[in-house]
Amino acid sequence: MINKKEIFEKNLDTVLRNIEQARLSVDEHSIIKLVAVSKYSSSEDIEMLYHLGQRAFGENHIQQLSERKEELKNLPLEWHMLGHIQTNKINKLIELKPSLIHSLDSVKLAVALNEKLALKNIKLSALLEINSASEESKSGVELSMAKDIYQEIRATCPNIILKGVMSIGAMSEDYEVVKKSFESTYDIFDALKYDGATICSMGMSGDYELAIKCGSSMVRVGSSIFKG
């Protein structure tokens, strides 16, 4: 029988080495954070990854985040919320206090979230999600509006600590198209550094090395780590 832990160890090792290589090709002083996306795996799998040294995990659905967090509450894990947030789930999300929300994808959501946070006197950290290739299937604000929206949320939603931007690379087989989507996101991030942006979350299993070369500081990798 093949040992799952050995597979995870090998996968994690490969991903960490690839991140390191991509990082060194950009800037030896940069720090890249790995968020292991656990949406296709089980709590036992997450625990194995924890014992291999991984601490930050990401989920797409509030319900699943809630279950995982409860099942693994004895481990000092850091939880990231990555998926689209429905307004009626905001209270639940606040209860879970994720360490970072990557998917703040509209002013409307920000205003609703801020209102509930203010009532409870809580602050949460978030990233503005950008639809960097203007794809209809994706959430996120339009590239051309991103800077203004970021500043608007920063000015009007004091209970949301905006820490930067997130984007999912273009859904394309064409390397140049994907690269362009990351570069466009990075340009916005770069322009927002004076507005407190410190995190540029981009890159998934298929494109995290490219994303790092385009300036990503946080990659969200699922299948490359958890696949059996």
Ligand X SMILES: *Cc1c(COP(=O)(O)O)cnc(C)c1O
Report the residue from 39, 55, 123, 138 that binds ligand X according to the rule CB under 6 A.
39
Pick between residue 153 and residue 211 the one whose CB is nearest to ligand X. Answer: 211
How far apart are CB 168 and ligand X at their closest, in Å? 6
Q: Does 204 sit near ligand X (CB under 6 A)?
A: yes
Pick the piece of the chain touching ligand X (CB under 6 A) from 18-26, 91-99, 113-121, 216-224: 216-224
| Site for ligand X, residues 143 to 182, rule: CB under 6 A | 168
Burial of 74 (0-12, 13-18, 19+ CB in 10 A): exposed
Is the Cα dihedral 222, 93, 109, 56 positive or negative? negative
- Mark out the alpha helices in the chain (DSSP H runs): 4-26, 43-51, 62-71, 90-96, 107-120, 143-156, 175-191, 208-213, 223-226
Pick between residue 140 and residue 215 the one whose CB is nearest to ligand X. Answer: 140
Angle at 193 between CA 188 and CA 196, to 5 degrees: 120
Q: Does 212 sit near ligand X (CB under 6 A)?
A: no
Q: Does 19 sit near ligand X (CB under 6 A)?
A: no
How far apart are CB 6 and ligand X at their closest, in Å? 20
Pick the piece of the chain touching ligand X (CB under 6 A) from 8-16, 48-56, 73-81, 217-225: 217-225
How far apart are CB 181 and ligand X at their closest, in Å? 14
Is the Cα dihedral 124, 65, 61, 166 positive or negative? positive
From residue 130, alpha-carbon distances to 26, 56, 61, 109, 206 in Å are 23, 22, 19, 14, 19
Chain residues that interact with ligand X, rule: CB under 6 A? 37, 39, 60, 82-83, 168, 204-206, 220-224
